Structure 1
Amino acid sequence: MQKNPLANIKLFLFDLDGTLIDTAPDFLTSLNNVLAENNRDLVHLDDIRQFISDGSGKLVEVGFGIDNDHEQFQQLKSALLREYKKNLTSLSKLFDGVKDLIDYLNDKNIVYGIVTNKPLEYAKPIIEFFDELRDCKILICPDHLRKAKPDPEGINLACDKLDINPNFACYVGDHDVDIAAGLAANVPVFACEYGYGSFEKGSQSNEIRIMHPSEIIQFIEKINE
């Protein structure tokens, strides 16, 4: 019988927003500050949570009710990004169970890194802020790539730089682009249903659906019994 590839896992690669860290509250604060500056109605977390992983442009569209071809779109997007840079770590926090998962990986000498579509200027300060992520071995952002997720380039680059065969790696994310990137890289994928993604059940194939990070620990333990 062929052994489960996760039985000999050496590398966990994670998405950032909606997977490791709940950044939605800081996006909400930043968007509402820009809305207030423009005398617009404020929004609630439930209004934008599912769009966090779609980028700042999508948040402008939702908050202001405009399309990306609107004459003020780029100006408002730049204002949102400036505001967000002031609030990167004001309210953001690790998702429940993430610290225990990271501790588990460290105890098992399993390397972990982050492959995100968040630009480096925002991702790096956030990761450095959380002491729990101090052992992160690599951060791959769109700045390092020709093509961001759903292209598998970021996952492949992380494996290459860490000198770990992709056959011993997996990817963890909360969005359709994460699942697609992992499957395209031909690595096992954990799909986090606790995150921001709106993927439907069965929308992709072969991913492992989880509702809490602790399920990853349970899964690894079970296949190694």
Structure 2
Amino acid sequence: MPISPQRAVLFDLDGTLMDTADDFVTVVNAMRLDYQQPPLDEQRIRATVSDGARALIKLAFTEDESGDEFQRLRQELLDRYLEQLKPGITTSTYFSGIEILLSLLQAHQIQWGIVTNKPWLYTDALLKALNISAPVVICPDHVSQTKPHPEPLFLACEKLRCIPEESIYVGDHIRDIEAGRAANMATVTAKWGYIKKEENVNLWEADAICESPQDLWPTLQALLTL
């Protein structure tokens, strides 16, 4: 029996579809400066972006999540980040090669969308600031369980009218691959993303690993059997 073509390619946002780390570097180091602390190495911040605001506060200020101070710092970071996500201010952008890839998907009538653990408030602000319109965007606000649970991927496929088994998920974190596998999707590791040096992506058991966005189209062609 011939393999049926995949009908959708879904992407994680931060570290996969878009390089958003510089905005976090700006915000974290601005906060540290205000608190009379030296700036952190940019690469340390970039490697922590995919783990969210709590992880960034742990990296930049304190490991202790139990007190009110941790929550205050976390909220300050989020407030500053939202201010950063404005036209002419944000430095976030597509990774090189992604815009061409999206054009190729459209030319081949393959649906695409974004499934992220980034809350809608910040995702919406970012996409509006960059004038980006995706066919579907699923955030934690839209589901009861976030990645690595497959629910967000199922919802994206439902909105795109695509079958999960005929779709692909691309991400730069182990939870992305776990979510994709749980949804019975083909999975691709975006090795260009925010992956810690000590991570062995070969252990994630994705169907494919891509070193750069330029490698992604040939990989998708193989998985899509185009």
Same fold (TM over 0.5): yes
Q: Secondary structure at the match of 1:40?
A: coil
Q: 1:146 matched to which residue of 2? A: 144
Q: 1:108 matched to which residue of 2? A: 108
Residue by residue over 1:25-54, the C-alpha shift from the partner in whole angstroms, topping out at 9 and shown as x without a partner, is 000111112212222222121121111010
Question: Distance between the aligned counterparts of 1:146 and 1:13, measured in 2?
Answer: 19
Residue by residue over 1:75-112, the C-alpha shift from the partner in whole angstroms, topping out at 9 and shown as x without a partner, is 00010001000112521111111111111111111111
Residue by residue over 1:182-217, the C-alpha shift from the partner in whole angstroms, topping out at 9 and shown as x without a partner, is 011110001001101234132222431001122221
Contact 1:100 1:214 in 2 (8 A): no
Amino acid corresponding to residue 143 of structure 2 in structure 1: L
Q: Secondary structure at the match of 2:203?
A: coil
Q: 1:60 matched to which residue of 2? A: 57
Q: 2:16 matched to which residue of 1? A: 19
Question: Distance between the aligned counterparts of 2:59 and 2:113, measured in 1?
Answer: 31
After superposition, the CA RMSD in angstroms is: 1.7
Contact 2:82 2:125 in 1 (8 A): no
The verdict on how the C-alpha distance between 1:59 and 1:20 changes in structure 2, with shifts beyond 3 A counting, is: same
Q: 2:92 matched to which residue of 1? A: 92
Identity of aligned residues (%): 34
> Which range moves more in the overlay, 68-77 or 178-187?
68-77
Question: Distance between the aligned counterparts of 2:47 and 2:2, measured in 1?
Answer: 38
Question: Distance between the aligned counterparts of 1:72 and 1:222, measured in 2?
Answer: 50
Q: Secondary structure at the match of 1:62?
A: helix
Question: 1:177 pairs with 175, 179, 183, which one?
Answer: 175
Q: CA deviation at 1:16?
A: 0.2
- Given the alignment of the two structures, is residue 43 of structure 1 paired with residue 54 of structure 2, yes or no? no
Q: 2:189 matched to which residue of 1? A: 191
Amino acid corresponding to residue 127 of structure 2 in structure 1: I
What is the aligned length?
220
Q: CA deviation at 1:222?
A: 4.7
Question: Distance between the aligned counterparts of 1:76 and 1:145, measured in 2?
Answer: 27
Q: Secondary structure at the match of 2:184?
A: coil
Question: Distance between the aligned counterparts of 1:171 and 1:221, measured in 2?
Answer: 14
Question: Distance between the aligned counterparts of 1:222 and 1:159, measured in 2?
Answer: 21
Q: CA deviation at 1:2?
A: 5.5
Amino acid corresponding to residue 152 of structure 1 in structure 2: P
The verdict on how the C-alpha distance between 1:220 and 1:24 changes in structure 2, with shifts beyond 3 A counting, is: closer
Contact 1:179 1:207 in 2 (8 A): no
Question: 2:164 pairs with 166, 171, 181, which one?
Answer: 166
Question: Distance between the aligned counterparts of 1:32 and 1:127, measured in 2?
Answer: 24
Q: Secondary structure at the match of 2:23?
A: helix
Amino acid corresponding to residue 27 of structure 2 in structure 1: S
> Which range moves more in the overlay, 51-60 or 37-46?
37-46
Amino acid corresponding to residue 170 of structure 1 in structure 2: I
Flag structure 1 segments of 5+ consecutive residues without an equivalent: none
Residue by residue over 1:5-32, the C-alpha shift from the partner in whole angstroms, topping out at 9 and shown as x without a partner, is 6xx1211110000001111100011111
TM-score for the superposition, normalised by structure 2: 0.91
Question: Distance between the aligned counterparts of 1:121 and 1:207, measured in 2?
Answer: 32
> Which range moves more in the overlay, 73-82 or 200-209?
200-209
